[in-house]
């Protein structure tokens, strides 16, 4: 017997319509590239999103078409989130920090029809345009007065598009499993792979992260979305905030300590999320200037492990409680968030701190287990470490265009590539990652790609790249090289060899020459041994 309740589909457009009806006066505040702070309400955002939804088909966008953005966090990007997905097309948020060749690959692989870009990225899109013939329109996210002088084919102005439309538009209803958004992971080997979210997965994820033990969002909250909207949808905040009617604050391109602090204070922010690197800059700025928060009492930190010292400083000096979170693009992205349970109240301060360092408990909806090399589930004892596998309604089943084949284990769970433990209360602790990517400032650097380039140098016999801890960037790459016998190669010469082959921030921070590299029994480089050997290595950039 079937239940007899309505089958109303979970539509992304319903979030903004709800925010308009029930929280129409709640503010959205954005730092803009043009200069002044922009302020308006959910009602205004909904009106403009409907105008944009009318403009899209006039530019040839049909349901399921990919519409890309190269943009910072701001109100126009927010309108695109709703207009594109709401009208049945797919918003493809591109990470502008990727290397040029990867950007070209991504735009072509996604088959983007249009790209909306912030003024910062005008020189970038001018370079991309000739290599992306499928893109028919490049739209600058600005008004006519600020439209760049550019020979981009099909260049239009965002505000002109909106001005030409009325807001007489009803959001269509369709299958909630329809694709809504596309975001590429920067893969460790080969090309980046696309993760395709649906309306249903996005809404369920938004519900889950709004809960009290996750982001604790409410109509009275003021939320600063620091995590970029091009990095897994700013961890879902642009969907959760309208769901509860919270005030939403966007920092634009200004992610430095001074600018973030100013916004946190002027907008009375009481909720935010960021990677450890951003926090590091903010804390340095605040310490140097002897500043304190007036309203911020807690923050989610994730994307990379939150260093214990940072968690201590935040709590003891700045009165901010850290909720450590973990996830990945393939999980929309949030899987776990750390919050204590009633039974932890009696713990000593030190035991509470050790618990808070863990990556947290799974949100309802995400199931998690750790397995050994044979795929056998390990005990939930907080000690047995194995690969972390997940499943749930906002976890990836297949990559876009089936890139990389079937990513799932035989039992249908998704292997995350992370290694960790789960304790009896369900708290996950990440102990390592099975991939050897280097996490720099919340972004990925592929060690394999850097190694491949190094061994392309005629004087290099073998090379390995490992991440070395860095106080500002979390990790930076160290290149370890075995020279060919009698070859003459200096550090500067080696680094120069990377020029034009990778983005500047991918460049190894240092080069070490050794006689030989350690190998495993099967002849592979033993990164584990290398990491052990170089665990106390100090980079010149530290
Ligand atoms: P991304 O897909 O770029 O969001 O990166 C996901 C990866 O970041 C995960 O697979 C982890 O390796 C890493 N990660 C995310 N959050 C944490 C955390 N709190 N602690 C340690 N690693 C993390």
Q: Probe ligand 1: pick from 326, 338, 399, max atoms within 8 Å of CB?
A: 326
Tokens (6 digits) for 166: 């009325």
**Ligand 1 center to 471 CA (angstroms):** 18
For residue 333, the ligand 1 atom closest to its alpha carbon is 4
Helices (H), 401-474: 447-454
Which residue range forms the structural domain that includes residue 494? Answer: 436-533
Nearest CA to ligand 1 atom 20: 305
Residue 222 C-beta-side C-alpha neighbours within 13 Å: 16
Number of domains in the chain: 2
405 found inside a domain: no
pLDDT per position as a tens digit, 348-406: 999 999 999 999 999 999 999 999 878 999 999 999 888 899 999 999 999 999 998 99
What's the distance, CA 492 to chain centroid? 33
CA dist 106 and 399 (Å) reads 13
How far, CA to CA in Å, does 345 sit from each of 340, 348, 523? 8, 9, 50
Asked if residue 469 is part of any domain, the answer here is yes
Q: Which residue has the higher pLDDT, 527 or 4?
A: 4
Cα 440 to ligand 1 centre (Å)? 12
Packed helices 199-210 and 13-23: angle between N→C axes, nearest 10 degrees: 40
* pLDDT tens profile 279-302: 988 998 999 999 999 999 999 999
Mean pLDDT computed over 442-469: 86
Q: Whose CA is nearest to atom 9 of ligand 1?
A: 328
Cα separation, 461 vs 481, whole angstroms: 8
Give the mutation target among 302, 324, 368 for probing the ligand 1 site: most ligand atoms within 8 A of CB.
302
Q: Is residue 297 one of the residues assigned to a domain?
A: no
Closest residue (by CA) to atom 8 of ligand 1? 303
The 10s digit of each residue's pLDDT in 417-431 is 888 899 999 999 987
Would you say residue 339 lies in a domain?
no
What is the model's pLDDT at position 430? Answer: 85
Q: Is 236 left (phi over 0), alpha (psi -120 to 50) or beta?
A: left
Strand partners for 38: 30
CA-CA distance, 59 to 101, in Å (whole number)? 27
Nearest atom in ligand 1 to 232's CA: 4
**226-230, 336-340, 453-457: range with lowest mean pLDDT:** 453-457
CA–centroid distance, residue 303 to ligand 1 (Å): 4
Q: Which residues line ligand 1 (CB under 6 A)?
A: 185, 232, 302-305, 324-326, 328-329, 333, 359, 416-418, 430, 433
The Cα 192–Cα 437 span in angstroms is 13
CA 327–ligand 1 middle distance (angstroms): 6
Check residue 381 and report its DSSP letter. Answer: S
Dihedral pair phi/psi, residue 352, rounded to 5°: -65, -40
Task: Tell me whether residue 403 is in a domain.
Answer: no
pLDDT for the residue numbered 433: 66
Any alpha helices (H) in 250-370, and if so which ranges? 257-266, 276-288, 308-318, 349-357
Give the position, in ligand 1's atom list, of the atom nearest the Cα of 185. Answer: 2
End-to-end CA gap in the chain? 65
Closest-CA residue to 420 (of 359, 474, 367, 466): 359
Is residue 190 predicted with pLDDT exceeding 70? no
In degrees, to the nearest 5, what angle opens at C-alpha 79 toward C-alphas 262 and 441?
50
- Catalytic residues, by residue number, are 185, 330, 439, 444
pLDDT score of 521: 45
- Residue partners of 109: CB distance under 8 A and separation at least 6: 191, 194, 400, 401
**Residue 528 maps to a domain:** yes
- Report the mean per-residue pLDDT for the chain: 93
pLDDT in the model for residue 473 = 92
Query: What helix, strand, coil percent values describe the chain, rounded to 5?
Result: 30, 25, 45
pTM, entire model = 0.85
134 part of a folded domain:
yes
Q: Tens digit of pLDDT for each residue in 93-138?
A: 999 988 888 899 999 999 999 999 999 999 999 999 999 999 999 9
Residue in 95, 233, 302, 303 to alter for ligand 1 test, most ligand atoms within 8 A of Cβ: 303
pLDDT of residue 203: 98
Q: How far is CA 80 from CA 71, 123, 199, in A?
A: 10, 22, 15
Q: What is the pLDDT, as a whole number, of residue 389?
A: 97
132 belongs to a structural domain = yes
Question: Which CATH number is 441's domain given?
Answer: 3.30.300.30
């Amino acid at each position: 017997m079937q239940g007899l309740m309505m089958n109303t589909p979970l539509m992304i457009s319903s979030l903004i319509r709800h925010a308009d009806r029930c929280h129409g006066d709640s503010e959205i505040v954005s730092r803009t590239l043009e200069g002044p702070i922009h302020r308006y309400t959910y009602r205004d955002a909904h009106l403009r999103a409907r105008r944009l939804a009318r403009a899209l088909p006039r530019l040839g966008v049909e349901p399921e078409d990919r519409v890309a953005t190269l943009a910072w966090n701001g109100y126009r990007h927010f309108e695109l989130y709703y207009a594109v997905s709401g009208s049945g097309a797919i918003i493809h948020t591109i990470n502008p920090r990727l290397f040029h060749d990867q950007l070209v690959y991504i735009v072509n692989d996604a088959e983007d029809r249009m790209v909306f870009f912030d003024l910062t990225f005008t020189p970038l899109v001018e370079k991309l345009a000739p290599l992306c013939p499928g893109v028919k329109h490049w739209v600058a996210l600005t008004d006519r007065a600020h439209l760049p002088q550019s020979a981009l084919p099909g260049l239009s102005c965002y505000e002109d598009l909106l001005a030409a439309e009325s807001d007489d538009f009803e959001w269509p209803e369709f299958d909630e499993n329809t694709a809504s958004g596309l975001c590429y992971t920067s893969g460790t080997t080969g090309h980046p792979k696309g993760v395709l979210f649906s309306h249903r997965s996005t809404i369920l994820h938004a519900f889950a992260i709004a809960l009290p033990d996750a982001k604790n969002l409410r109509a009275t909250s003021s939320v600063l979305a620091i995590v970029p909207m091009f990095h897994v949808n700013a961890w879902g905040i642009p969907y959760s905030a309208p769901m509860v009617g919270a005030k939403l604050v966007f920092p634009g391109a200004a992610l430095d300590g001074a600018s973030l602090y100013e916004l946190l204070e002027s907008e009375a922010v009481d909720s935010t999320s960021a990677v450890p690197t951003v926090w590091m800059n903010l804390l340095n700025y605040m310490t140097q200037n002897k500043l304190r928060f007036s309203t911020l009492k807690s923050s989610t930190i994730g994307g990379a492990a939150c260093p214990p010292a940072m968690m201590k400083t935040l709590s003891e000096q700045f009165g901010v409680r850290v909720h450590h979170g973990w996830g990945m693009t393939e999980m929309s992205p949030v899987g776990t968030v750390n919050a204590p349970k009633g039974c932890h109240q009696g713990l000593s301060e030190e035991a509470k701190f050790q618990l808070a360092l863990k990556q947290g408990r799974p949100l309802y909806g995400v199931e998690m287990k750790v397995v050994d090399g044979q795929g056998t589930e390990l005990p939930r004892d907080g000690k047995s470490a194995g690969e972390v596998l997940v499943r749930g309604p906002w976890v990836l089943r297949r990559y876009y265009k089936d890139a990389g084949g079937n990513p799932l284990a035989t039992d249908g769970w998704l292997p995350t590539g992370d290694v960790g433990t789960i304790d009896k209360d369900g708290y996950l602790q990440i102990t390592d990652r099975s991939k050897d990517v280097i996490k720099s400032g919340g972004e990925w650097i592929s060690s394999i790609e850097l190694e491949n380039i190094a061994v392309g140098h005629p004087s290099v016999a073998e090379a390995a790249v490992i991440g070395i801890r860095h106080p500002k960037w979390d990790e930076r790459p160290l290149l370890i090289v075995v020279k060919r016998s009698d070859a003459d190669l200096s550090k500067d010469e080696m680094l120069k060899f990377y020029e034009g082959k990778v983005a500047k921030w991918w460049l190894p921070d240092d080069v070490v020459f050794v006689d030989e590299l350690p190998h495993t029994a099967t002849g592979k480089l033993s990164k584990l041994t290398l990491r052990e050997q170089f665990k106390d290595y100090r980079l010149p950039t530290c």
